Amino acid sequence: MKLFLVAGEASGDARGAELMRALQELHGGALEFHGLGGPQMNALSQGNIRDWTDRAGVIGFIDVIKNYGYFRREFAAALEAIERLQPDAVLFIDYPGFNLRLAAAIKQRGLSPKVIYYISPQVWAWHRSRIPKMAKTIDLMLCLFPFEKPLYEQSGLRTEFVGHPMLDSLKAKRIAEPREENLVALLPGSRKREVKKIFPTMLATAALLHQRKPELRFAAAASSEKMRGLMQEVLDQYPGVPCEISLRNAYDLMQRAAVGMVASGTATLEASYFRLPFALVYRVAWLTYEIGRRVIRVPFIGMANILAGREVIREFIQGAAQPAALADYLQGLLEKPAARAELIAGTDGAIATLGEGGAAKRAAEAVLAELACYLPPRRQDAKF
């Protein structure tokens, strides 16, 4: 069996690798993996999945425009490879700006692989009118959040709720150490643009907090050596802030820190899972923000807040992401155990809606069932 996968960011690479392992365990026969992804997917495919995440993992309208020529070439190459390889299925993993267009192009070319989308794109937040179009180009949608299934099925798009793979990957990362009451976590994201826009705001907030409470210490997590170097350059502009920058230890910080600041994205759901009391912080280029503000149709950007249906985690977005306001809020969390307990109770409730684990296996079962080479066991409890 031949499968073509496309993921464009570090989180998609991790989810893609989990799905590939589950497919190998369930299928029992020979599987060929091809496509675009990251280092984990590359390693599992004997190099047939090319690692392009360093270049592909851009954020915002401006960065996409700057790299338009590159994405156009990669798009054409991916479509040519699918036509040449004739895979049994194309598995798209998140990354909607590229993947939704490629799904449509596959159908327009009259190509015959099954088109399966894993980690459904959040078009319900910014472009619900695209869902009926997606129903014409995607054979099966595998979604992570329970509220997504009825939204997609209204347009005739067959959808399975498989649960969130984060629950499995993070369970193994739990530590038993107590929180350090004077430690504040700074998690500005994994992309260069995020670090440049968000980390200075976090450090300016840290400077104010340190003035008010000199006993506080700060720690930041970098996603790579390159990002650590960039973050160190920013930190050098705040010599009075006692901040340590470590490599790939975000999960550790989420569990050891008393409070934190977290950039909007997957990390906010991870921090919620690890019960970190935190403020959500996000800043992007002015034009990107103005475009987004006009198209986003949900009241929150933090997934825990969307799942909870209310602002469990305080969101500091764009102009509202001011150091003084952030410092006041975090100081309140540090000094008020009841406020921390209330936040954690809210995020616990949001995480509980995601099921109990096993998402990658359920996704693999759905993929193989769609290809008529696997019959999943009947489940008595649809809530997992």
The pair phi, psi for residue 105, each rounded to 5°, is -65, -35
Q: What is the pLDDT of residue 28?
A: 79
The boundaries of the domain holding residue 23 are 2-165+357-370
Length of the chain counted residue by residue: 384
Q: How many angstroms separate the Cα of 256 from the Cα of each of 16, 205, 218, 221, 246? A: 29, 20, 11, 13, 14
- The rounded distance, in Å, linking the Cα atoms of 287 and 21 is 40
Residue 278 and residue 311 in one domain: yes
* 74 domain-assigned: yes
Residue 67 and residue 183 in one domain: no
DSSP 105-137: HHHHTT--SEEEEES---HHHH-GGGHHHHHHH
Residue 31 and residue 148 in one domain: yes
Residue 345 and residue 252 in one domain: yes
Residue 296 and residue 254 in one domain: yes
Q: CA neighbours within 13 Å on the CB side: how many for 169?
A: 17
Q: What is the pLDDT of residue 287?
A: 52
* 82 domain-assigned: yes
Q: What is the pLDDT of residue 300?
A: 75
Residue 21 and residue 140 in one domain: yes
Q: What is the pLDDT of residue 355?
A: 82
Q: What is the pLDDT of residue 192?
A: 82
Residue ranges with strand state E in the chain = 2-6, 32-37, 49-51, 89-93, 114-118, 140-143, 159-161, 180-187, 217-222, 243-247, 257-263, 278-282, 315-317
DSSP annotation of 68: H
Q: 244, exposed or middle or buried, with CB in 10 Å at 0-12, 13-18, 19+?
A: middle
Q: What is the pLDDT of residue 251?
A: 95
- The rounded distance, in Å, linking the Cα atoms of 328 and 322 is 10
Residue 192 and residue 161 in one domain: no
Residue 148 and residue 77 in one domain: yes
- The rounded distance, in Å, linking the Cα atoms of 356 and 167 is 7
Instruction: Work out how many domains the chain is built from and give that number.
Output: 2
Q: What is the pLDDT of residue 382?
A: 44
CATH for 308: 3.40.50.2000
Q: What is the pLDDT of residue 357?
A: 87
Residue 124 and residue 216 in one domain: no
Residue 252 and residue 289 in one domain: yes
* 382 domain-assigned: no
Residue 30 and residue 109 in one domain: yes
* 379 domain-assigned: no
Q: What is the pLDDT of residue 182?
A: 97
Residue 135 and residue 113 in one domain: yes
3-state secondary structure of 33: strand
Q: What is the pLDDT of residue 291?
A: 45
Q: What is the pLDDT of residue 381?
A: 46
pLDDT, averaged in runs of 10, over the chain (384 residues): 94 93 91 96 96 79 78 96 97 93 96 94 68 93 92 92 91 91 94 88 97 97 91 95 93 97 91 97 64 56 87 91 97 97 96 90 95 64 44
* 99 domain-assigned: yes
* 380 domain-assigned: no
Q: Which of 281, 259, 276, 290 is nearest to 204 (CA)?
A: 281
Q: 252, exposed or middle or buried, with CB in 10 Å at 0-12, 13-18, 19+?
A: middle
